[in-house]
Amino acid sequence: MLDPFTQVVALLQPAAPFSKRGSGAGRWRVHRSDVGGPFYCAILEGGCRLEAEGHDEIVLMEGDFVLIPSAQNFAMSSLLPAGAKDIVSTPILLPNGEHRLGSADDPPDVRLLLGYCVFRSPDAALLASLLPKLVHVRGVSRLATLMQLVSDETRAQRPARDVVLERLLEVLLIEALRSGGKTDAAPGLLRTLMDGRLAVVIRRMHESPSQSWTVTQLASQATLSRSVFYERFGHAMGMAPMEYLLTWRMALAKNLLRREKASIAEVASRVGYSSASTFSVAFTRHVGVPPARYARDTPRGRMSPAEPGSSAESGSIV
């Protein structure tokens, strides 16, 4: 059976090339508003607080994992209330390689692994819009096992340590996304797939993107009335059914144009448009450039701007 989540993850091409070990002691607070790329944090010991734009404050404890696919404005702080004098601009690098927030002399109240991951697809922004705005995973044993492996690897000085750590972080990222639909109430693809009736609709869209779907036809697939389906889908996904279908069709079209160098007419047919001209108008409106120009100017396998060496790597919560 086709798995829509696998399709989205495969197109996103997630990787985690940049991470730091951090710790905090006493009262501290750090804020970032200029990140933009996907941010993740795994609590290895202790606890701290997280404030993300559009979400209530979260108290993070040992074993928790947080992923913000598009981190724009967020802050982390100690469990102890922190004031203006406790704001950290630059962390202290300890001899053991940890980046310390707060007091360098006191034993840590929290140890964490955090950093910026990469969605290597040029369509990352479009595809990330299908994910929850924030994924907070707690109490997932598989994730805890992966976090322990990551923690052990960060402390050891084994051969190929960096390669192993990158692979573990990639798996950790995918497992967090996969678990997020079970543990996070934020709208997005994962939450929608947890609804059995809506999952059927998502699979139909992904199996047959070329079909001329209507809201009524999609509601029928879910065995729901049109009005109930429309409201239920929008509540779970965070966007209307036809908006999701358009977003998915455009992601497929960009992939076909970039990787297979298919003709405009062929791409139009494969993503549900009756003519190349109709598709070109829709693509230009949605993407911002005509499909022919996109295909010409986008090399195969081009990486996302958020690669190592970009602002996503140089900027850090610690």
Give 181's pLDDT tier (boundaries 50, 70, 90).
Answer: low
Say how far apart CA 214 and CA 259 lie, in whole Å.
29
Say how far apart CA 182 and CA 177 lie, in whole Å.
10
Instruction: Flag whether pLDDT at 5 surpasses 80.
Output: no
Stretch 39-59: mean pLDDT = 89
The structure tokens listed for 97 are 């390689």
- Residue 170: predicted pLDDT: 75
For 261-298, b/e burial (b = at least 16 CB within 10 A) is ebebeebbbbbbbeebeebbebbeeebeeebeebbeeb
Q: List domains and CATH numbers for the chain.
A: 4-184 (2.60.120.10), 195-297 (1.10.10.60)
pLDDT in tens, 250-299: 989 998 998 777 899 999 999 999 999 999 999 999 989 999 999 888 76
Burial label for 51, CB within 10 Å (0-12, 13-18, 19+), is middle
Residue 108 DSSP label: P
Note every long-range contact of 195-204, with CB atoms under 8 Å and residues 24 or more positions apart, other chains counting: 195/232, 195/236, 197/222, 197/223, 197/224, 197/232, 198/222, 198/232, 198/233, 198/236, 198/237, 201/229, 201/233, 201/241, 202/4, 202/244, 203/1, 203/2, 203/4
Instruction: Flag whether pLDDT at 83 surpasses 50.
Output: yes
Q: Are 240 and 230 in contact (CB under 8 A)?
A: yes
- Residue 19: predicted pLDDT: 75
Give 71's pLDDT tier (boundaries 50, 70, 90).
Answer: low
Say how far apart CA 265 and CA 62 lie, in whole Å.
53
Tell me which amino acid residue 317 is: I
